[in-house]
Each structure stands twice: as C-alpha cells, then as structure tokens.
Amino acid sequence: MSFALLVFASFPVLFGQTLHFAPASAPPGGSVEIEISLKSPKGEEPSTLQWQTTIPLANVGTLEETDPGPAARAAGKAVSCAVRSKTAETYTTRCILFGGQDSVNDGVIAILKLKIAPDAPRGPFRIRVDEALAVYKDLKRVPIDPTETTVTVK
C-alpha cells in the first residue's frame, strides 16, 4: 500500500475549472440570491462558460433572473439563461456567460435569483449544476464537474 501512495504522490495533481454555488436560505414566498463562483488554474482562465441548472418545482416559484457577477462584469461578460426543459418535478435552465475575448478571472461570475414558492415545504432542497463547459479563446472546450448547492426554506 505504501508503494501505491508513493507512486500517486510522485505525480502532480492537475485540477480544472470548478464552479461553486453558495448555499442560501429564505422563508416561503421570499427571494434568494445564489452566488456562482469560478475557480481556474493559473493561466487557464476561460473566456466563455456554459452550465445547466436543475431546480425542484415544489420549492421554487419562479426563476427571476441570472445577473453577471463582479468577475464577469470585470471581463465585459453578459449572462443569458433559458428554460431547457420542464417536468412535473423540476425545470432545467441552460446558461451561458459570454461576450468579448477577455478571460474570466476567479470570483463570482453570476448571481442566480429565485423566488421561493409560497407553499414550499420547510427544510433544505438541492439545486444541481451539470453539463458545464469552459471555453477558451482558442475555442478549446473543457468539461467542468457537476456540483450542487443547498437552499433552505426557513
């Protein structure tokens, strides 16, 4: 076993981009703002990002909007989201962060604004993000691992 640890430790660990959604809370009928942050390896900042967000309908009344965060605005980017699919349980939006050739530095790239359903059950629910991609200036596309966050209805 120590040999396996030695071999693993001798190779550099490479990390790609990650998206992080901050947890949030609100009362039934209230609004939440969820910050979406990007973390990239030094020198590998993307110029465009795309992600898909799945939200449970039992908890969220409406998706109010998604605004660019400070890191996106500093790079001259905009955010556009559209409903991709809707089932009895969830709806899924596809968002793209785009505009210009500048790379996006680490930090808050978008703010997801949701209205909690007035009859939402109290307690936590999950918002899942998947099918995320980072796109570089040379149009190279790199997938980003799925992530999720918890929103608590108080």
pLDDT per residue as tens digits for the range 99-111: 988 999 999 999 9
Instruction: Write the pLDDT tens digit of every residue in 29-84.
Output: 999 999 999 999 999 999 999 999 999 988 888 777 899 999 999 999 999 999 99
Its pTM stands at 0.85
- Where are the extended beta strands (E) located within the chain? 18-21, 24-26, 31-39, 48-56, 60-68, 78-86, 90-98, 107-116, 123-135, 141-144, 147-153
Residue 100 has a pLDDT of 86
Match domain 28-147 to its CATH number in 2.30.30.830, 3.40.50.2300, 3.40.50.970, 2.60.40.680: 2.60.40.680
CA proximity to 88, closest of 127, 59, 58, 46 = 58
Mean pLDDT over 112-129 rounds to 94
pLDDT grade, residue 9 (50/70/90)?
A: very low
Identity of the amino acid at 144: I
What confidence score (pLDDT) does residue 14 get?
Answer: 41
Q: Tell me if 57 sits within 8 A of 90, measured CB to CB.
A: yes
